[in-house]
Chains A and B, each alone.
Chain A
């Protein structure tokens, strides 16, 4: 059983469109992170959210942590080919616990 479920697994859309990907769990997390991984490279941290209901923006990317701290979403506005990659969410149940990764959403933006 995967503790963090990400959906969709794959998403291919045209440049300029908006999209949302999700990270869901039945467990509560003290913090949740989003990473982007490009082919041949390691994951790179985009954001960390720690407060229920928190919203963080990174240019065209908007991250939200659910009120109950069990889920999170990543919304991309006006997607660009440079957004292509594997988006991973990762959560930590308690501050000193090891981090757990979801399997990721593989996003492909068509020019």
Chain B
């Protein structure tokens, strides 16, 4: 069975550029989560969706970050404009419902030069 699929796996870009990260959750899962992982701060929840609706975006660092879930099988996390401090590994996870165990993708390693 396919797990959570994220793309790209790696992204290197210059500061000021727009970055779009993509996620395909496990089919049938109703909840989707975006996380950011750094050595300093660990794994932080940025935003999560339930049935394609954003439920909690309190973890989104600032207005440069936005996330969408246009349908049950696709979500994007966009950073515009990107800054060096956005460099991190970004994970997408999905679950059957908000309270169920989460299944993580393999992440996107983002480097902003």
Which A residues form the contact surface with B (CB < 8 A)? 2, 33, 40-45, 48, 88, 92, 95-96, 98-104
Contacts and interface: CB of A to CB of B under 8 A. Distances in A.
Given A42-B4, A42-B93, A43-B43, A96 B101 contact: no
Interface of B: 4, 41-45, 48, 56, 91, 93, 98-99, 101-107
28 contacts: A2-B42, A33-B101, A40-B106, A40-B107, A41-B106, A42-B4, A42-B91, A42-B93, A42-B104, A42-B105, A42-B106, A42-B107, A43-B91, A44-B104, A45-B102, A45-B103, A88-B42, A92-B99, A95-B99, A98-B45, A98-B48, A99-B45, A99-B102, A100-B45, A101-B45, A102-B42, A103-B42, A103-B43
Contacts of B91: 42-43
A75 B62 CA distance: 39
